[in-house]
Structure 1
Amino acid sequence: MPYSHAHYAGNLVDGAYSLGLFGDVATDVCIQLDGDEGLFASYSDVQFRAPVHAGDVLEVSATVTRMGTRSRTVAFTATVVCRGSGGSAARVLAEPIVAVTAVGTVVVPAPA
C-alpha cells in the first residue's frame, strides 16, 4: 500500500482503496472471460475485517460464483500477506490476514 493513501492515524489506508483494487481485478476477470472490460454494477456484503496500513502488501483474489447471460457475480478477497515495518521494509506474515471481502456484480455488453 502506498503511503500516499494513508489518510488516518497509524498510517491506516481507507477501505475504498481495497474496493478500487477489486474493480481492477473485476476488469481483468471480464476481459479474460468475455473479451471486454465490462462495467461494475454493484457491491454487496462488503466486510472490512482487518486494518490495512501503508507499507502492507496485499494479495487480491476473485472467484466468479455465478455467470448469467450478461452479468457475473464475483467474490473478492483482499489479504495482507506482508506488514510494512517502516520505510521500504516489510515482514512476511506466517498467517496472511483477510482484510476485506466483498461480492460484486459486473455486466458485460450484449454480443454483437
Structure 2
Amino acid sequence: MPARDDLVQRVKTQVIRALPGELPSLEATAKALATSTRTLQRALQAEGTTFQALVDEVRRDLSLGYLREGRRTVSEIAFLLGFTEVATFTRAFRRWTGSAPSAWRQREGG
C-alpha cells in the first residue's frame, strides 16, 4: 500500500466522490482503490486510523466549509453529507465540534 499521506488522501478523495447521494462504504472505496477491504483496513490500521475516522473527518471538514459559506441550510448540508436525518447530522456535528451546526454558523459568522 502507498505511504500514509497518499493512502489517506486517496481514501478521502473516494469518500468525497461518493457524496452526495450515498454514504461511502469501505467495500466501494476498496474496490475503487483496486484492493481488498481487509487489505485497506490493515493499511489504515497500520497508519493509526480507520475508514470510519476518515469518513467522519471528510464529513466534518465539508460541513464546516458549507456552514462558513452560508448558502445552504443545515438540512441541505445534512443531505449532502449522506445523513438521512438532520438530527443525526446535528449529533455528529456536536461530537466533532462541541456545538450545534446553527450555533457554530452564528458564532463563526457564516
Return the TM-score normalized by structure 1: 0.29
Higher-helix-fraction structure? 2
Higher-strand-fraction structure? 1
Where relative contact order (Cα < 8 A, 6+ residues apart) is larger, the structure is: 1
